[in-house]
Amino acid sequence: MIGRSDHALRALAELLTSETGQEIAQSRVWRIETALRPLMKELGLADLPQLVERINAGGDRSVRVRAVDAMLNHETSFFRDLPVFQALEHDILPALRDEAKNKSLRIWSVGCSTGMEPYSVAMMIMRMGALWNGWKISIVATDVSPLSIDNARKGRFAQMEVQRGLSIDDLLRWFEPTGEEWEIAAEIRKMVHFQTDDILRPTLPPEPFDLILCRNVMLYFPEAARVKACANLERYAKPGAYLVLGAGETLVGCRSAFSLNADMRCAYRAEPAALLRQAS
């Protein structure tokens, strides 16, 4: 017989899927209670069934939002997976610069969490200096979690967060201490536009991007959701755009306009002819 706790776990897993498209593997369902324990303690709830009842009551939408947020994987850091950023700096961005028909560069960071990825890209571009003088550079960063987007916009990070992946030079150049936190410089913050959005149901204006970072997002999608996400990535890709995935991700199973670039780690390019076929 399935107990109340099992019913609650199933209901919460289904809530996560309905809100974000992500699925929790059966072997990792135990993480749900661990992730939600701080929220239950704050709300004075004894167990998961009580939390589900509180969510279903619908009186306070924020409980639902916070429960979903707690179940998401927010793992991130500055310059996470350094070889990817080295490829961006030395190969991908120079290629886009050389091939550009005008001095405009649009970048999309999908699943940006608390903003460390797009801020890292902005710092890297600023470090490249005169190469980008006179260019119009736009970095759009989205995440399905409104709480993560709120934190990203603030641009404030704890000591432990800036110690992971951030060099001393970058810390001293682009951050100011504010109490026990570090606040990123206004010139970096203004390069990034943050928006709550869902790769499965995107609401961004249909202006395409030169570079899309979608790392460790589709990793948690079932096959149907991955196919849908890939189709949406194609909609927002310029011909010749680069798509960068996470180290454990591929486009296997997706009928995709992106082809793997063997010379660059986890990088794909949008083939112009394939994009035209998809649009027709």
Are 205 and 247 in the same domain? yes
The answer to whether residue 95 sits within a structural domain is yes
Are 178 and 267 in the same domain? yes
Per-residue pLDDT tens digits for 206-253: 899 999 999 999 988 999 999 999 999 999 999 999 999 998 888 887
Q: Are 215 and 84 in contact (CB under 8 A)?
A: yes
Q: How many folded domains does the chain comprise?
A: 2
What residues in the chain have per-residue pLDDT under 70? 1-3, 265, 272-280
| Whole-number pLDDT of residue 272 | 67
| Whole-number pLDDT of residue 276 | 46
* Closest by CA position to 66, among listed 24, 16, 27, 29: 16
Are 243 and 178 in the same domain? yes
Tokens read off for 176: 């100011």
CATH of the domain at 101: 3.40.50.150
Are 141 and 47 in the same domain? no
Q: Which of 24, 49, 71 is the last residue of a domain?
A: 71
Are 28 and 165 in the same domain? no
Are 49 and 94 in the same domain? no
Tokens read off for 174: 């682009």
State how far the alpha carbon of 31 is from the alpha carbons of 7, 26, 70, 249, in Å: 15, 10, 10, 22
Are 101 and 55 in the same domain? no
Tokens read off for 224: 């149907």
| Whole-number pLDDT of residue 253 | 78
| Whole-number pLDDT of residue 61 | 86
Are 161 and 58 in the same domain? no
**Which range of residues forms the domain containing residue 257?**
82-279
Are 132 and 191 in the same domain? yes
Helix, strand, coil in percent for the chain, rounding step 5: 50, 20, 30
Q: Which of 52, 71, 90 is the last residue of a domain?
A: 71
State the DSSP string of 195-219: EE--TTS--S-S--EEEEEE-SSGG
| Whole-number pLDDT of residue 265 | 63
The torsion angles phi and psi of 123, rounded to 5 degrees, stand at -60, -40
Q: Are 15 and 67 in contact (CB under 8 A)?
A: yes
Are 144 and 35 in the same domain? no
The answer to whether residue 76 sits within a structural domain is no
